Amino acid sequence: MIPTPGDEVAAESAHVPPDDPPLRALMDGNFLSYASYVIRDRAIPALEDGLKPVQRRILHALQRQDDGRFTKVANVVGDSMKFHPHGDASIADALVGLTQKGYLIEGQGNFGNIFTGDPAAASRYIECRLTELARREMFNEELTRFVPSYDGRNKEPVVLPAKIPLLLMMGAEGIAVGLSTRILPHNFGELLEAQIAILQNKPFDLRPDLPTGGLMDAAGYEKGFGKIRVRAVIEEKKTVAGTIVVREVPAGTTTDTLIASIEEAARKKKIRVSSIDDFTAEKVEIEIKLQKGEDPKKAIAALYHFTACEQSISLRPIVIRGERPVEMGVDEILRANTGQLVDTLQRELELGRTKLQEEIHAKSLARVFIENRIYKDIEKCETLEEVRQAVLSGVNKFRRELRRDVTADDVESLLQLRIKRISLFDLNQNRREIADAVKALAETESNLASLKKYAIGYLKNLLKIHGKRFPRLTRIVTFGETDARELATKNLAIAYDKTRGYLGWDVRGDGIEAAFKCSELDRILVIHSDGRYRVIPPPEKLFVDRDVIRFEVFDRDQVYTAAYASRAESYAKRFIFGGTILNKEYTCIPEKMRFHFLHGGAPERLYVKFREYKLKAGQRKAPKGARGPEKQTIMVADLPIQNPKVRGTLLSERDIESASSVRPRGWPEQIETEPTRANEPGLGPLFGGAED
């Protein structure tokens, strides 16, 4: 069968991969849904109650079964899973974290140790319950909006009506899809005092308070943004010489990680330690014995610089507000929480006012019904409707004594009164209860009329009850800057084998002695006779060639004095090496020249003797520039300080025979000459560049 042109086109198109926009749209939509879910429902806390969804479900499960007694954590985990299919391990970990913070959940048993990093016991062995602070300040079912759980069998809260700034109290960390948050915890009392300042329109200033204590430099802390530096608390042990003790660890570390970092620094010989003993239990106590002769103060400074005893923590406060992630500073968060507190207190007062009004109405209605024997009017009624109408007509005669109109529900409540209550009704007690309710209603109305004042009083009462339970743990100080090279132990002896051309701290041989000692943090400057130089880390054993004329610890600001020459000309200059790239080779004198003098400093004079100019074939006399004095005494202070690329000051058009900063024997006293020319055109900086 012969294919038609249409069949050929169809066959060709069959090999082209189909473009499937619906599949891409499905992938894009699913990814966005997943990202939104992780951000809103897992990783980022809500602004209103400071909780992530799993934490909120744990608290809701505890509140539903709360009777004041401890409950197995395993049971709480199971109850929490009724609201969302979290994994049991993730729920248990979140519950342990809440318990360790100490604000909302009280634990009984082994809930781990934040200092050592030890994990909690299995959830079947430990118990927990809500704290009094959580019971009073986190829950109110009448003010909470509930939504169905994932399977529709239960209801869970959207957010809890928190009356405390829980987000800033506990802090939060979370990593979502393309988004992360880190909010440090703050001190409970300081937060409430700041809320009072907000309500009084006064300024306030907040600094984090970390649960592990330690020292903190908050110079870079900008209202929740920026970063802070935290340190361990280290002190000398007065009873044992040469021993220091770590009393508190910085946030983000444990005693295990801290000891590991100290051991690593000791292996690298950055700190000389004899032994490390960990006696941590309820409090941190790490005892460090130093090697004999070590200065404890210098050792403490080295611990801060080379180990995990000092940490830098970067911050980014992101919260969920209105179902969206937003970046908010600490002051913005606290102002929002304070506004929420006022709103919640107002709603509670309004709810209480309604209840008091209903209580006064109900008690007044019962008094009218019993005191005026209205119940006798129903004896002649034959139907239920006639009974209801008789009660309604009877109590309406005393409408002026009631708070509002009588409803059908009121009539039903009167018909539910038992004969025993009617016969034992105490009129005087009823009037006292009504008077108490009226007094409470008047107080509620007064509080509603001055909400800010009421909120301030509420916060002050919280401070009075709970403030002493949560003292500040982290001390705010300013850290001084330390030079790592000053702290590092100079334990590397650098030697140079000129015969074989090796340089390093492992260079050995007969007659080879170390030139100097340095630390691993130092850098070594190596200069060759032809002007090549480079800066390198202290090598173990490195081939650098046999023409090295100077090697020393690099100091970028050190001034050097040099005299160098070729057969045709000679120069002198003062210069500094300045900044360099590690292991990169540079040149500090022109090509085909070599050093005759190099001094790491500024001698007073430089004594230079030139070689006699030798006439070339056909020359009758030497050039003018080569007929200068045989010797020159140069005042070094007259040479400008330049960068190493500059050619320098021309001394003569002859080679140098010798140069020294020490006056040679027999040197004429009257030869006090200045350099002839300095940086003439054509004799300027190397590589055609201008002087830096």
For tokens 């306030």, what's the residue? Answer: 204
Whether 199 shows a pLDDT value over 70: the answer reads: yes
User: Could you tell me how many helices (H) and strands (E) the chain has, helices first?
Assistant: 17, 35
Last residue within a domain, chosen from 408, 434, 469: 469
One domain for residues 434 and 530: no
Q: 245 Cβ partners below 8 Å, 6+ apart?
A: 234, 235, 236, 237, 285, 286, 287, 288
Residue 287 inside a domain? The answer is no
Per DSSP bridges, beta strands 475-476 and 215-217 are parallel
Whether 678 shows a pLDDT value over 50: the answer reads: no
One domain for residues 555 and 668: yes
One domain for residues 547 and 635: yes
Whether 114 shows a pLDDT value over 60: the answer reads: yes
The reported pTM is: 0.73
Last residue within a domain, chosen from 124, 144, 161: 161
One domain for residues 490 and 605: yes
Q: 281 Cβ partners below 8 Å, 6+ apart?
A: none
336 or 677, which is more confident?
336
pLDDT for 25 equals 78
Q: Tell me what the mean pLDDT of segment 195-204 comes to.
A: 96
The CATH code of the domain that includes 155 is 3.90.199.10
The CATH code of the domain that includes 413 is 1.10.268.10
557-572 residue pLDDT tens: 999 999 999 988 899 9
Residue 16 inside a domain? The answer is no
pLDDT for 446 equals 95
* Active-site pick, 34, 37, 125, 150: 125
Residue 601 inside a domain? The answer is yes
Count, residues in the chain: 692
Residue 320 inside a domain? The answer is no
One domain for residues 560 and 420: no
Give bridge partners of residue 450 from the DSSP assignment.
none
571 is catalytic: no
Residue 654 inside a domain? The answer is yes
For tokens 């030890």, what's the residue? Answer: 118
**Structure-block tokens of residue 391:** 């009660």
One domain for residues 447 and 594: no
447-503 residue pLDDT tens: 999 999 999 999 999 999 999 999 999 999 988 766 666 666 677 889 999 999 999
One domain for residues 450 and 534: no
> How far is residue 92's CA from residue 80's CA, in Å, rounded to a whole number?
10
Domain encompassing residue 85: 51-161
299-341 residue pLDDT tens: 998 899 889 999 999 999 999 998 899 999 999 999 999 999 9
> How far is residue 505's CA from residue 515's CA, in Å, rounded to a whole number?
10
Measured torsion, CA atoms of residues 421, 423, 428, 429, in degrees rounded to the nearest 10:
-20
Residue 195 sits at the vertex; the CA angle it makes with 194 and 199, to the nearest 5 degrees, is 115
SS (H, E, C) 8-24: HHHHHHHCCCCCCHHHH
Q: How far apart are the first and last CA of the chain?
A: 85
31-to-40, 183, 318, 350 alpha-carbon distances in Å? 14, 27, 21, 44
One domain for residues 490 and 636: yes
SS (H, E, C) 437-457: HHHHHHHHHHHHHCHHHHHHH
**Structure-block tokens of residue 456:** 């301030």
Contact criterion met (CB below 8 Å) for 449 and 350:
no
pLDDT for 159 equals 95
Q: Give me the number of domains the chain comprises.
A: 3
Residue 550 inside a domain? The answer is yes
One domain for residues 460 and 488: no
Contacts of residues 373-377 at CB distance under 8 Å and 24 or more positions apart, as own/partner, are 375/417, 375/422
Residue 672 inside a domain? The answer is yes
Last residue within a domain, chosen from 112, 142, 161: 161
Amino acid at 393: S
One domain for residues 366 and 416: yes
21-51 residue pLDDT tens: 777 777 777 777 777 878 877 889 999 999 9
Contact criterion met (CB below 8 Å) for 272 and 300:
no
392-443 residue pLDDT tens: 888 888 888 888 888 888 888 888 887 767 777 778 888 898 999 999 999 9
Residue 6 inside a domain? The answer is no
Of the chain, the percentage scoring pLDDT greater than 90 comes to: 60
Name which of 623, 614, 563 is nearest 588 in CA terms: 563
For tokens 């005299």, what's the residue? Answer: 563
Question: Residue 129 carries which DSSP code?
Answer: E
One domain for residues 524 and 384: no
Residue 225 sits at the vertex; the CA angle it makes with 53 and 100, to the nearest 5 degrees, is 45
pLDDT for 38 equals 80
One domain for residues 362 and 441: yes
